[in-house]
Structure 1
């Protein structure tokens, strides 16, 4: 045998094992020892040493590849039950050395992945393992992939649990419950091979015409912050190597949720002080809680695109807040510096602007490929700048232990995703999110023994209208609609008659007369109206994934909300108002259930319908949750995280506006229809005995605010006690009131509890005329109550000397 033929190869080593009897254990130890001499492959070496060592070994092209995140759903092939990597994946790796993929497991009309062509949880784990195995065994340096997935209200993949959308999550006012939910989402994503969960969305919304309101936590920076902290902690846990946690990517940095005219990605009109006071605090709170990643938004602020804004990405994020994770563009955000914002003439220039401004990674990979390589070669980007961005990505891979353990267990994925436990959790979140807006003469709860109930409306029995945007395809039997929830709740002797009545938008096809006839025969009516973010496979999409709005469609879809579906009005669309008015005219008791992604105009309903509940998009168990509330098995305690206007002419109508001359209009007053924090209960609560106590010493300040809360009714229930503060005389203009603390409290009938809130300097600070954070001397008004308008207790306290705060 020609031994030279095998020299220097693994085959030669294996031959030696066979011929000379060298034990495989010894060979394995020898290989391990050799690997450990390479610093980046040595798990015992410090992470920073491993990062530096690997960077020294990488070519310019390999570095550029590491900070590109490509679309992932074309990277696998599925043939029957067999799943493996695609030729597209091999080609991309050979040419571009990509370090990350996004939405590999995503399924929806945009990706063209259905329940048939997409992946089950087990198949997903097999697919991601195949991708990682290729990286570890077939690439020069063996760098594992980072796989990012959409996770705002569940991992957007087949078989996972679908929870309430974020606006519903915020309506729970229950951070502990949301943290539990986030932990469940993270586990379902991680066991399938994902490492990053896109979320939470921390955009503060003052423009409800904007299409993505459903993805947010509303209009208040403190409530958004608390929800964001919960999501980050739930996603990331205490150990990113646990196999159950994912990195949280915060979206969208920043001021994205209040665009001019409601246009998605539009210009943000805000000054620096308002930016710091309103839009940035949720991001700062989430980063303080440990968030490892953040996404730049599409919009510009004062003429500077956020994707190339060094003030945000360097000064604020890194220097002021000490952020150590990595930043990433939104999909196509860096090319948008050229094509949308027109501040770069070429893709090379756009790539240079973004990375020099501190944007580490390119989602989509169009800018940080050849254009970035060209910019480095042309000295427009320093190698040290590129190395810094690459290091941020590599550091996360090392910290997650991916070089040692890049694989997941397909059998475990099959068992851990979409369990009865997460199904029950989805129902709990949905029930906690439901807001009882109105309950005249205590129409609710209904009796389960009601003889004849009419269930009417376009959202009463439509699974996708109930789930919101960023939702994967679902089998019909998995989703419980309101109609199904009601049927499962009432007595077997109850006759439930369902008539759709009309669609959300379509005006050409309706059966309103049939719906009226059903209502006339019923003892009560539940009418389910609202909106829809349900995409279908006929929808066309922009390159970013946002839906294309068609001015005229032959077959009109229900979709009037969700990314890309900005509105010019907030009116109920189609024939919904006509249907509601015809049903109300029957004189039967009517309960309006709203399934929607944004606050819609319900002025007529507020005046003429006795009971109204808002369920937003309540997720897969939404029908059960709504029925639990309708029939009294769950006492609602959801509270509005955003004000509901009477007219778009009032906008913006958020509760915590700055001191100014606000007055009524010719046509109507300036107040919203329902204010931030509003929500009713089947129980009654009494607030008494407000006390304040100030403890101050030098730069230390603590204010304790206490009161007694009592359930004065005969039913148990939750009350959301809310504390608002006003700085009575600041050196700059401040809010008329600002939420500072809240607590969701369960009380049995007759039970009383002492509630205490503590305020620290950061809760009372303002950004003064010199752009310094301070608590100024003076008096502060205290307002405690059940909503921003339903204030039950008033008081005040005084701060006698200035307290200097940090960023």
Structure 2
């Protein structure tokens, strides 16, 4: 049959599309055609049937391609305002049939994507659309991509909202607020074409010298669990096919946050019981909440790398927890089985070890390529094993509706990302996270009418030092520093004098004398010190993205925290201590504000500085948040999610240590400077009338704990009521106290509320000598208070019979 030629007209294009049965609608649904009779293309067919049908049609090379997640930022070309796929992308697809990309929209010094060379939200949507269009129209089977992005405290892309880092999020002790934040992050990422958000980081951290503490929720498994649940629910919403939600990838599985010597990716020293009791519960809780992806960590446990650990990836994750999502390595994690851990002699062996252990996908794609194909051909890996892994990936692509809706709308991305509402939410998270650690003689809040105020320090007016690691480039006008926040807060008649004083690390360029002169002329001084995770273009990076730290750096950046920046001490670096002591010597009232990614040594400050505020890395609205607290427009209620040590010689110093002979040292006591859960308020609170009631029927157990909480001040405020538990006598050694419940409660001046917590068998259980989860009969001590050390109420209750718990 001859076709009339309509060259150059839209009619000809549409006619061709209609005859080929390949029509698509703009920004979304692939049109239903007679191709829908093919099961995997039929949106009404069950997901498992679609997966099975597609697997039958795939070659070995296409299957292996689905298991590879390559670095994505070289896969697009930007020319002016237009964006399309790069030649690199086309070559990769022709050769490797890749199914996923990571960090396509990422911008930072490592990727060399700047505010100029990177993508705006609208351009990002155009880039991901171009990639998906190529997959749908230029590949044999038309399998859409899964695009993963870093999303720990905002989508790590240009133009998105920057929130407080995770350690600050945990300091809110407000899971509902964090779930709201996670929902906003997910939507900003999804409308640009992302499908997976890396986060939350559920590493339990007992080693503050480790560089990545800022990415965690601290030292307590229960608090981490609650924050993790909130993030998963915020990311994934009521369904990943909503168009506004992303798949949550839990990091890092497991025992990654307490490495020997503080070395990032180092050996984890933990026994099986402690692994189950301390490190695994946050992951189990997040998976129970619906998390659909999980990332294996770089470290080894008891001689077995987590990237090839079948006990973790099969026995625990799948058999015990019923996980039905997909697992992925960390970047270069599978090659590390060979190069770092040396338990494989070749890449082929490393690939076989990992996939046979149950690790589905390879982030970086170095191992699950030719090496995996070679392993299959040499009968080290079966097709059934490969099919299982591929099915885990495809199932989520179908569930997310990507075969029918592969595209996003650039116009929606442009108006949805970085809204005023999300900026306001960033401020809410930041203010809720701020911890008032000391407030001697009620120095805070300051009066807005103060006549002369000195603002001093390296972190007072540095936007990147305020934002933390995993942050994209930012226009200066978007970020509110502490100096800017203070200037916006005080009276127009207030004179604000700013002097940097010194850098975070550099000792060659300082103006301490000028800072002292400014302090001498002031009525009060706000000094902003701490650390930095701000990367720069002079830093060199490992293939994993971790920074290369050189002991003999000539040009010294501020960066002393963030991935790859492990510390040997926790002292304030550079001349910061000199600056602080010089300012204090003026005799003026001094408020220390800490902007930092890990607990730093503030022993001298705790003795000599009347007011100390910890803001961690508070995000883009951090300056407004800090100012709100300093001047009393926000009553602080943040609580520490990690203990602050007096010395690295005390480490580990976490509060919930196992019952043991922990005694003082020759030089100092064994207690932390500030304990887990600590935080002050401008209000005062009274706890009273603790009551408990035990109800036990068969295998069911419920302990109801109640008490009265009253705001005894004239200032409305939040209190974080915390309930700790101790098993008084047990068959195995348990913690001296363990957080079991908490609630952030707002009380008006003089207001009183009854707070009720319910404990169940899972809250009281232990792993006995037979490695069975049980609640043993006996007494339990109740401790209720304002921190792990500030216990206001004590009580006991008794469980009279053993209860066997389901795992």
Change (3 A) 1:365 1:25: closer
Partner of 2:782: 782
Alignment of 1:139-538 (within 5 A): 139-538=139-538
Secondary structure of the equivalent of 2:792? Answer: strand
Secondary structure of the equivalent of 1:432? Answer: helix
CA distance in 1, matches of 2:106, 2:273: 39
Partner of 2:27: none
CA distance in 2, matches of 1:457, 1:118: 32
The answer to whether residue 630 in structure 2 is matched with residue 634 in structure 1 is no
Q: CA deviation at 1:17?
A: 10
Secondary structure of the equivalent of 1:428? Answer: helix
Partner of 2:718: 718
Render the CA deviation track for 1:193-244: whole Å, top value 9, x for unaligned.
0000000000000000000000000000000000000000000000211111
Partner of 1:81: 81
CA distance in 2, matches of 1:47, 1:626: 49
Q: CA deviation at 1:139?
A: 0.2
The answer to whether residue 592 in structure 2 is matched with residue 592 in structure 1 is yes
Render the CA deviation track for 1:697-736: whole Å, top value 9, x for unaligned.
1101000000000000000000000000000000000000
Secondary structure of the equivalent of 2:488? Answer: helix
Q: CA deviation at 1:34?
A: 2.3
Change (3 A) 1:128 1:33: closer
Secondary structure of the equivalent of 2:725? Answer: strand
Q: CA deviation at 1:33?
A: 4.7
Secondary structure of the equivalent of 1:295? Answer: strand
Stretch moving more, 24-33 or 700-709: 24-33
Render the CA deviation track for 1:4-56: whole Å, top value 9, x for unaligned.
999xxxx9xx999989xx99899979994521211000001110000000000
> 5+ unaligned residues in a row in structure 2: which ranges?
25-29
TM-score of the two chains, using structure 1 as the length reference? 0.97
Partner of 1:51: 51
Change (3 A) 1:451 1:351: same
Q: CA deviation at 1:80?
A: 1.1
Q: Runs (4+) of structure 1 moved beyond 2 Å?
A: 2-6, 14-19, 22-34
Q: CA deviation at 1:554?
A: 1.8
Secondary structure of the equivalent of 2:222? Answer: helix
Render the CA deviation track for 1:439-475: whole Å, top value 9, x for unaligned.
0000000000000000000000000000000000000
Render the CA deviation track for 1:350-381: whole Å, top value 9, x for unaligned.
00000000000000000000000000111100
> 5+ unaligned residues in a row in structure 1: which ranges?
none
Render the CA deviation track for 1:298-328: whole Å, top value 9, x for unaligned.
0000000000000000000000000000000
The answer to whether residue 566 in structure 2 is matched with residue 566 in structure 1 is yes
CA distance in 1, matches of 2:311, 2:439: 49
Change (3 A) 1:5 1:373: farther
Alignment of 1:642-657 (within 5 A): 642-657=642-657
Change (3 A) 1:512 1:37: same
Secondary structure of the equivalent of 1:682? Answer: coil
CA distance in 1, matches of 2:167, 2:391: 35
Change (3 A) 1:784 1:535: same
Render the CA deviation track for 1:64-97: whole Å, top value 9, x for unaligned.
0000000000000011111110000000000000
Change (3 A) 1:105 1:15: closer
Partner of 2:41: 41
Change (3 A) 1:44 1:539: same
Render the CA deviation track for 1:573-614: whole Å, top value 9, x for unaligned.
000000000000000000000000000000000000000000
CA distance in 1, matches of 2:624, 2:31: 57
Render the CA deviation track for 1:488-543: whole Å, top value 9, x for unaligned.
00000000000000000000000000000000000000000000000001110000
CA distance in 1, matches of 2:332, 2:211: 19
* Contact 2:296/2:330 (<8 A) preserved: yes
* Contact 2:31/2:404 (<8 A) preserved: no
Change (3 A) 1:23 1:169: closer
Q: CA deviation at 1:121?
A: 0.1
Stretch moving more, 252-261 or 546-555: 546-555
Partner of 1:755: 755
CA distance in 1, matches of 2:738, 2:124: 45
Partner of 1:603: 603
* Contact 2:397/2:403 (<8 A) preserved: yes
CA distance in 1, matches of 2:391, 2:697: 44
CA distance in 1, matches of 2:153, 2:716: 29
Alignment of 1:734-753 (within 5 A): 734-753=734-753
CA distance in 2, matches of 1:489, 1:389: 55
* Contact 2:161/2:418 (<8 A) preserved: yes
TM-score of the two chains, using structure 2 as the length reference? 0.97
Alignment of 1:61-100 (within 5 A): 61-100=61-100
Partner of 2:681: 681
Render the CA deviation track for 1:775-797: whole Å, top value 9, x for unaligned.
00000000000000000000000
CA distance in 2, matches of 1:413, 1:17: 27
CA distance in 2, matches of 1:103, 1:715: 46
Partner of 1:540: 540
Secondary structure of the equivalent of 2:795? Answer: strand
CA distance in 2, matches of 1:610, 1:31: 67
Matched pairs, number:
799
CA distance in 1, matches of 2:491, 2:158: 34
Secondary structure of the equivalent of 1:55? Answer: helix
CA RMSD of aligned residues (A): 1.9
CA distance in 2, matches of 1:54, 1:24: 24
CA distance in 1, matches of 2:614, 2:723: 23
CA distance in 2, matches of 1:452, 1:332: 54
Q: CA deviation at 1:268?
A: 0.1
Alignment of 1:674-713 (within 5 A): 674-713=674-713
Change (3 A) 1:259 1:16: closer
CA distance in 2, matches of 1:23, 1:102: 34
Q: CA deviation at 1:558?
A: 0.1
Secondary structure of the equivalent of 1:453? Answer: strand
Render the CA deviation track for 1:249-308: whole Å, top value 9, x for unaligned.
000000000000000000000000000000000000000000000000000000000000
Secondary structure of the equivalent of 2:255? Answer: coil
* Contact 2:21/2:35 (<8 A) preserved: no
Change (3 A) 1:603 1:16: closer
CA distance in 1, matches of 2:548, 2:654: 29
* Contact 2:22/2:33 (<8 A) preserved: no
CA distance in 2, matches of 1:632, 1:550: 43
* Contact 2:21/2:33 (<8 A) preserved: no
Q: CA deviation at 1:3?
A: 4.4
